Amino acid sequence: MLSMILAADTALGALGAALGAGIAAIGAGIGIGNIGSSAMEAIARQPEVAGDIRSNMIVIAALIEGVALFAVIVSALALFI
């Protein structure tokens, strides 16, 4: 009986970690897609500031990727600890 409870606990932990990592990846993809869309629209409206917009877009995309990576690491730690 105890082994069944431990197996279920391990399986639910793996499921939770996989869901957490998946949601983090989906959220990062949506966020970066919105950034790219907004940046292209802004560049189309004001082409003279394309360099500034592009550099800001890259910084924000890197921050989103960092948060997504942090979420995946936390999910992996939840799986193994």
Q: What is the pLDDT of residues 28-79, one digit of tens each?
A: 999 999 999 999 999 999 999 999 999 999 999 999 999 999 999 998 888 8
Say if CB 34 and CB 9 are below 8 A apart: no
CA 47, 40, 22 angle in degrees (round to 5)? Answer: 155
pLDDT for 14 equals: 86
- Answer yes or no: is pLDDT of 2 > 70: no
Which helix (DSSP H) or strand (DSSP E) does residue 52 occupy? helix 50-80
Banded model confidence at residue 17, pLDDT cuts 50, 70, 90: confident
When pLDDT is averaged across residues 3-16 and rounded to a whole number, the result is: 79
- Answer yes or no: is pLDDT of 81 > 80: no
Provide Rg for the chain, Cα atoms. Answer: 19
43's tokens: 């560049």
